[in-house]
């Protein structure tokens, strides 16, 4: 019989324990930073009504046009991003009634049917932060500074690029100007951009095709078309970034692939990631909450791709950062009677908060010591037949190989605490 070899689907990836260490580190640092900035966690479903994404991300975007995993018969879609879901929850639970400004974050998987490549998956993960209800430019700068701090605390470098996309007042005249300009180039643009010229002209500005990017160098700039309020807002955002000492550059060609943005948009670009160089991105969406049927409130946020953060951490070649999971004590027992004591000992140690391990297969001391090494054990407690007669075990420090007797006389209830005391004392020395 021919047995089918089962594999994960293309673009969907298993994250094995060695790599999970990096993921946990990223998640821990993200949570810590988000809490420092007063954000609270919100957990959301990974499936929503398709209409939510069509209305927020935009009908003419690549994401909605061709990248969504939709169950057409049910009218539902695996979320391609978290902002829309978060705002749906925000509106549904009337969260604005509790407090004028809501600061929220969420961490989890997203799904986009893109062509998989380095740093681009079909199931990927984001840490995602949003501040809802504040229009002040300080918040824009604070959010970007928070992203920058996250990268710094992970030991990573990326450059911050910022732009302003204006508002419903200044964007339409700009769009018109841009379409006029693009129409003149029409024959020379790539086929995607020819189609985008009317469907989504702003996207032409960040086409990756070298010919297109050359052709748009002289295109009208959104920054020259901003209304007074938007222009002032962006100037203040920049002044705030300067005040905080956040390095950034203005990129007038940055337009983002989601339609909900207004005013400030930004991306963190890591130049050693290859084609998928954006490690994080975000911006303001001042009209979106109202468009989704909620109160008239502004919002701003960003998301970082965890897979891309992991790639950058791996590239530094100091993978484990001392993060490897360690065992405190490995109990090596020799003989049946010792194994019985060991079995009870391991459980008592675990009850007292010690990471303890044991091998039950009755292997030789040498094999057990090898196993202790594999588990990165800091100590091994050896219980042999001779030791058992004296009611003691031998506690060996695996780093400096020093050994000391460990009495088993006082019974299991006190073993854990005593061992914990020894280990902690050694650590603090
Ligand atoms: P986005 O630019 O679509 O924005 O995605 C943000 C980040 O998610 C990207 O910079 C990248 O690191 C990661 N990412 C996106 N697609 C993939 C993929 N296929 N594979 C791996 N990583 C990927 C948003 O999603 C917005 N919701 C961000 C936001 C929040 N704006 C305001 N609030």
Instruction: Determine which residue's CA is closest to atom 23 belonging to ligand 1.
Output: 305
Sign of CA dihedral 307, 308, 310, 314: positive
Specify whether the CB–CB gap between 230 and 144 falls below 8 A: no
Question: What's the confidence (pLDDT) of residue 320?
Answer: 57
The β-bridge partners of 302 are 129, 282
Q: Please give the number of the atom of ligand 1 that sits closest to the Cα of 122.
A: 19
Locate 157 and state its tokens: 């470098």
Q: Please give the number of the atom of ligand 1 that sits closest to the Cα of 280.
A: 10
Residue 1 clears pLDDT 80, i.e. is over it: no
Instruction: Determine which residue's CA is closest to atom 15 belonging to ligand 1.
Output: 305
Q: Using the mean position of ligand 1's atoms as its centre, give its distance from the Cα of residue 380 in Å.
A: 46
Domains in the chain, ordered, with CATH?
17-170+226-315 (3.30.930.10), 327-428 (3.40.50.800)
Instruction: Choose one of 39, 83, 126 to mutate for the ligand 1 pocket test, by most ligand atoms within 8 angstroms of C-beta.
Output: 126
For 403, phi then psi, to 5°, come to: -125, 150
Q: What pLDDT, in 10s, does the model give residues 310-369?
A: 999 998 866 556 788 899 999 999 999 999 989 999 999 999 899 999 999 999 999 999
Question: What's the confidence (pLDDT) of residue 385?
Answer: 87
Q: Please give the number of the atom of ligand 1 that sits closest to the Cα of 130.
A: 33
DSSP one-letter code for 154 = T
Question: What's the confidence (pLDDT) of residue 417?
Answer: 84
343 CA to centre of own chain: 39
Check residues 391 and 13 and name the one with the higher pLDDT: 13
CA distance 58 to 170: 19
| H helix count then E strand count, the chain | 17, 16
Instruction: Please give the model's pTM, rounded to 2 decimal places.
Output: 0.93
Q: Using the mean position of ligand 1's atoms as its centre, give its distance from the Cα of residue 94 in Å.
A: 26
Q: Please give the number of the atom of ligand 1 that sits closest to the Cα of 84.
A: 27
Q: What pLDDT, in 10s, does the model give residues 46-99?
A: 999 999 999 999 998 899 999 999 999 999 999 999 999 999 999 999 999 999
Instruction: Choose one of 124, 147, 165, 312 to mutate for the ligand 1 pocket test, by most ligand atoms within 8 angstroms of C-beta.
Output: 124
Question: What's the confidence (pLDDT) of residue 429?
Answer: 41
In this structure, the residues whose C-beta lies within 6 A of any atom of ligand 1 are 81-83, 112, 114, 119-121, 124, 126, 128, 130, 257-258, 278-283, 301-305, 307-308
Q: Using the mean position of ligand 1's atoms as its centre, give its distance from the Cα of residue 81 in Å.
A: 7
Question: What's the confidence (pLDDT) of residue 428?
Answer: 44
| Mean predicted confidence (pLDDT) in 173-196 | 91
Residue 27 clears pLDDT 80, i.e. is over it: yes
Q: What pLDDT, in 10s, does the model give residues 30-48?
A: 999 999 999 999 999 999 9
CA distance 217 to 328: 60
Check residues 335 and 415 and name the one with the higher pLDDT: 335
Residue 404 clears pLDDT 70, i.e. is over it: yes
Q: What pLDDT, in 10s, does the model give residues 113-161?
A: 999 999 999 999 999 999 999 999 999 999 999 999 999 999 999 999 9
Question: What's the confidence (pLDDT) of residue 97?
Answer: 96
Q: For the chain, give the mean pLDDT.
A: 93
Residue 424 clears pLDDT 80, i.e. is over it: no
For 362, other C-beta atoms within 10 Å of its C-beta total 12
Instruction: Choose one of 292, 305, 309 to mutate for the ligand 1 pocket test, by most ligand atoms within 8 angstroms of C-beta.
Output: 305
């Amino acid at each position: 019989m021919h047995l089918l070899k089962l594999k994960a689907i293309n673009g969907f990836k298993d994250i094995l324990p060695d790599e999970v260490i990096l993921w946990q580190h990223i998640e821990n640092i993200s949570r810590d930073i988000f809490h420092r900035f007063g954000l609270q966690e919100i957990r959301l479903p990974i499936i929503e009504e398709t209409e939510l994404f069509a209305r927020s991300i935009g009908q003419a975007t690549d994401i909605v046009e061709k990248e969504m995993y939709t169950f057409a018969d049910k009218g539902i879609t695996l979320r391609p991003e978290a902002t829309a879901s978060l705002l749906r929850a925000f509106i549904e639970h009337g969260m604005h009634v509790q407090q004028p400004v809501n600061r929220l974050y969420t961490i989890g998987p997203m799904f986009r049917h893109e062509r998989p490549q380095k740093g681009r998956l079909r199931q990927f993960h984001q840490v995602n932060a949003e501040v809802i209800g504040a229009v002040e430019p300080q918040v824009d700068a604070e959010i970007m500074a928070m992203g920058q701090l996250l990268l710094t605390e992970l030991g990573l470098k990326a450059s911050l690029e910022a732009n302003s996309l204006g508002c419903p007042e200044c964007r339409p005249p700009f769009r018109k100007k841009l379409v006029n300009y693009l129409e003149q180039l029409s024959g020379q643009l790539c086929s995607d951009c020819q189609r985008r010229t009317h469907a989504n002209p702003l996207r032409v500005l960040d086409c990756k095709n070298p010919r297109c990017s050359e052709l748009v160098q002289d295109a009208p700039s959104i920054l020259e078309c901003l209304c007074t309020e938007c222009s002032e807002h962006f100037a203040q955002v920049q002044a705030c970034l300067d005040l905080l000492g956040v390095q950034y550059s203005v990129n007038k060609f940055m337009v983002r692939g989601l339609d909900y943005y207004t005013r400030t948009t930004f991306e963190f670009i890591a130049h050693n990631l290859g084609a998928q160089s954006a490690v994080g991105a975000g911006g303001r969406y001042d009209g979106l909450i109202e468009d989704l049927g909620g109160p008239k409130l502004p919002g701003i946020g960003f998301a970082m791709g965890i897979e891309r953060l992991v790639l950058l951490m791996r590239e530094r070649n100091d993978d484990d950062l001392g993060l490897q999971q360690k065992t405190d004590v490995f109990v090596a027992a020799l003989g049946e009677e010792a194994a019985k004591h060991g079995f009870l000992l391991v459980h008592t140690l675990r009850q007292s908060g010690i990471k303890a391990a044991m091998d039950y297969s009755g292997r030789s001391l040498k094999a057990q010591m090898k196993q202790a090494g594999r588990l990165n054990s800091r100590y091994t407690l050896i219980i042999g037949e001779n030791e058992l007669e004296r009611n003691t075990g031998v506690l060996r420090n695996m780093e400096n190989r020093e050994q000391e007797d460990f009495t088993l006389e006082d019974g299991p209830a006190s073993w854990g605490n005593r061992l914990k005391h020894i280990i902690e004392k050694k650590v603090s020395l």
